[in-house]
């Protein structure tokens, strides 16, 4: 009985959420789920990779032809959080463009590169910036002659 329960849990975990029972529509939703997967702003890269692998499993379970490793790697790369990985993404794409590096061969290659990327850290303490404000002690209302504002 436990084995049947485990199998059911695994099946549910990789199921694509769809209102349709039509295979073509479910496959479309599986492809879209994988294509549109993005790392959350507060999500670790490890959790993102687990979600990506789950979506990839659902993609394959529906009989969709598999993508090659380079495609999977670049899809994963594209879904990385822009806030934390913007510098990495720009430098990586520029390096690919000028051919100083080669495209990643598989998902684990790009995962390891992104995971080991050194992110800038904020300096402890404050800087030496200053803020100045001016305050007017008394506000005087201008008096205009009858008929409206004074023309210049």
137, part of any domain = no
- Identify the pLDDT of residue 148: 60
Q: What does the angle CA 42 – CA 10 – CA 111 come to, to the nearest 5 degrees?
A: 40
pTM of the model: 0.66
Beta strand segments in the chain, E: none
36, part of any domain = yes
User: Cβ neighbours of residue 23 under 8 Å, at least 6 residues apart?
Assistant: 62
Rounded CA separation 50/41 (Å): 16
Q: How many folded domains does the chain comprise? A: 1
Instruction: Find the domain containing 73 and state its range.
Output: 2-115
148, part of any domain = no
68, part of any domain = yes
Q: What is the mean pLDDT of residues 30-46?
A: 90
149, part of any domain = no
Read off the pLDDT of residues 100-132 as tens digits, 9 standing for 90 and up.
Answer: 999 999 999 999 999 998 877 766 666 566 666
31, part of any domain = yes
90, part of any domain = yes
Which residue in 115, 107, 35 sits closest to 70, CA to CA? 107
13, part of any domain = yes
Report yes or no: 86 and 61 within 8 Å, Cβ to Cβ. Answer: no
């Amino acid at each position: 009985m436990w084995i049947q329960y485990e199998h059911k849990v695994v099946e549910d975990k990789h199921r694509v959420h769809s209102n349709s029972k039509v295979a073509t529509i479910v496959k479309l939703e599986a492809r879209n789920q994988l294509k549109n997967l993005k790392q959350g702003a507060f999500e670790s890269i490890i959790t993102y990779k687990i979600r990506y692998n789950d979506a990839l499993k659902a993609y394959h379970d529906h009989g969709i032809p598999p993508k090659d490793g380079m495609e999977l790697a670049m899809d994963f790369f594209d879904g990385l959080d822009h806030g934390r990985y913007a510098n990495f993404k720009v430098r990586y794409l520029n390096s690919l463009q000028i051919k100083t590096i080669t495209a990643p061969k598989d998902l684990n290659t790009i995962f390891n590169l992104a995971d080991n990327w050194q992110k800038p850290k904020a300096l402890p303490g404050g800087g030496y910036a200053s803020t100045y404000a001016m305050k007017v002690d008394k506000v005087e209302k201008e008096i205009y002659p009858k008929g409206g504002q004074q023309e210049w």
